[in-house]
Structure 1
Amino acid sequence: MIIRQATDSDIQAINELAEKIWWPSYRNIISDEQISFMLNDMYSSESLREQMNSGIEFLLVERDKLPLAFAGFSETDTKNQVFKLHKLYVLPTEQGQGTGRKLIEQVSSLAKAKGGKILELNVNRGNPAHHFYSRIGFDIYQTLDINYHHFVLNDYVMRKKL
């Protein structure tokens, strides 16, 4: 397994991973309408290219050149040296294999090398992944309801010291 920085040439792979991961991961948490909307809004080729150009760094996990997972992160608060993990998605077949943990360790290491003191993420309160984040050192920092177009995101903001 390798973790490497994603480039423009990986946008299609990230888009395909998002499609394969979001449906089984979110189907029992949010509506199909919201899944479709968010996939189109955040994972279209144009949107991913925009995110990369705006400073979100993407990492891609591969085994035998097959994409398994990805993450996206950036610094969001320079004063307090906070980096945000915007995205962390692992194929269902890879969940529980240590892939997500290794990816977070890589993001943490890169953020720390850039002067980061805190790694922050949002996770839907109904998503069992928040238990995974707790086990690897994240604590609930805030509980938020965020208006997102015509939807409401019911999130925990979780933080971990780097």
Structure 2
Amino acid sequence: MIFVRTAAASDLPRVRALLVETWHATYDGIYGAERVAAITDDWHSLSSLRQRLDMPNAEFVVADDGREIAGMAFARSEAGGKRVMLHQLYIRPAYQGQGIGSQLLAEIVDSFPDADILRLEVESANDKAVAFYKARGFVVVDRTDDCGEDRSGIPALVLERTLI
């Protein structure tokens, strides 16, 4: 059984391992293993993850089955709390398709009761993720050439879902 709970500092090595595994499984074929390793070493370092734990107006949750972390999500409110940016939602490949992503997404939505909009960026070539979000009511509102951070060079769709 999977439980969604707030992430703790002790979870961070397992969250990092999940992110590295998931990114390689998803993006090696698009960007190559070397570039994916560089991205995960930067974006998903323990220090980067640790900073997220203490961010104000943010929620960092994990899906835990008692043996391993099966998924994680991180979001932060913007625009005076009316918009939430979902920065990360990843499910370990062996657990995908079991409803864990929907559980994590629901927890993020519940964590920001005053928000009107949930926004995210998703790599346009990540067909599974794009389909996941569209099936949950997200629509494409824009595109970016720099997903995640300035000058990343990763093209992405910007998707939104109304929460009210």
Q: State the TM-score, normalized to the length of structure 1.
A: 0.90
Change (3 A) 1:151 1:64: closer
Q: How many residues align?
A: 159
**1:101-120 mapped onto 2 (5 Å cutoff):** 101-111=102-112, 113=113, 115-120=114-119
Alpha-carbon distance between aligned partners in 2 of 1:64 and 1:100, rounded to the nearest angstrom: 17
Q: In 1, distance between residues paired with 2:52 and 2:143?
A: 25
Distance 1:116 1:150, change over 3 A: closer
Q: Which residue of 1 aligns with 2:160?
A: 159
Report what 1:135 is aligned to.
135
Point out the structure with the larger strand share.
1
Q: Retained in 2: the 8 A contact 1:21–1:91? A: yes
Change over 3 Å in CA distance of 1:149–1:142 after alignment to 2: closer
Superposition deviation, residue 64 in structure 1: 2.9
1:47 alignment partner in structure 2:
48
The corresponding residue for 2:33 is: 32
Q: CA RMSD in A?
A: 1.7
Aligned positions of 1:76-115 closer than 5 A: 76-78=78-80, 81-111=82-112, 113=113, 115=114
TM superposition shift of 1:153: 1.3
Pair 1:6–1:67, CA change in 2 (3 A):
same
- 1:13 equivalent in structure 2: 14
Tell me how far 1:83 sits from its aligned partner: 0.3
Contact 1:118 1:161 in 2 (8 A): yes
User: For residues 113-161 of structure 1, what are the alpha-carbon distances to aligned partners after superposition, in whole Å with 9 as ceiling and x for unaligned?
Assistant: 2x11111110001011111100111000101111857640100010011
Using the size of structure 2 for normalisation, the TM-score is 0.89
SS in 1 for 2:30: coil
Displacement after TM superposition at 1:52 (Å) = 2.3
Secondary structure of 1:64 counterpart: coil
Paired residue secondary structure (1:152): coil
Alignment-derived partner of residue 145 in structure 2? 145
